[in-house]
Amino acid sequence: MDERLTPRLLDKTTIDRAFPLVRNLAPDITLERWTRFAKPHLASRSPDWPRGLMTIQNAAGYILGLFVFEVRDDLYEKRVLCIDNIIIPNIPGRDAIWAGVVDAAEHIAAMNGCRTIRAGLADDLEPGARDRDQTWLTGSLEKAGYSFEGMRAIKRLEARHAAH
């Protein structure tokens, strides 16, 4: 991918433009669910603690990647930029899109006095592509200077019905 990619914040008027990318990687997500998820991320808690949805777009304005970001107070690191819900499709030019995500995250961190970036990686990839995509993503993170620290666990709770 030789074309120039540009980071751009998503806003209320452009939420729908990101939906095809989201739907491509998560076909079960509806436009209503995407909008309900995206809207709260567009409003910062305060100017000192920004959050948002950053997109990576090509010159024609197509959204090729996105991530959620939030500046948080951390007991050990002080100000930390947390990024998650990273969406980068498996298409030609994927490495350039990833480089755009890394550059945008580092720019946001620098602008907000964050010396640390935490990238959250969910296990929500489609089952057939999970291993291949995780290998690509972990390798891409390491190439960008990230290291894997600590541990994060998840427990999914099933809805329980009363047996009455």
Q: What is the pLDDT of residue 112?
A: 94
Q: Tens digit of pLDDT per residue, the chain (164 long)?
A: 557 999 999 999 999 999 999 998 889 999 999 999 999 998 777 888 999 999 999 999 999 999 999 999 988 888 999 999 999 988 888 999 999 999 999 999 999 999 999 988 654 434 444 455 667 767 777 777 766 676 566 556 676 654 44
Q: What is the pLDDT of residue 150?
A: 65
Phi-psi region of 53 (alpha: psi -120 to 50; beta: other; left: phi over 0): beta
Q: Position of tokens 């972990």?
A: 138
Q: Could you give the C-alpha distances from 112 to 47, 80, 115, in angstroms and in order?
A: 10, 9, 9
Q: What is the pLDDT of residue 127?
A: 40
In the 8-state DSSP scheme, what is residue 46? B
Helix, strand, coil shares of the chain as percentages rounded to 5? 35, 25, 45
Could you tell me whether strands 78-87 and 116-119 are parallel, antiparallel, or unpaired per DSSP bridges?
Answer: parallel
Alpha helices, DSSP H, located in the chain: 15-25, 31-41, 94-111, 130-143
Q: What is the pLDDT of residue 1?
A: 52
Residues 34, 87: contact at Cβ < 8 Å? no
Q: What is the pLDDT of residue 15?
A: 94
CATH number for the region 44-143 comes to 3.40.630.30
The phi and psi torsions of 71 (rounded to 5 degrees) equal -85, 125
Q: Could you give the C-alpha distances from 1 to 6, 22, 95, 145, 155, in angstroms and in order?
A: 13, 21, 9, 22, 39
Give the integer Cα–Cα distance in Å for 150 and 164. 43
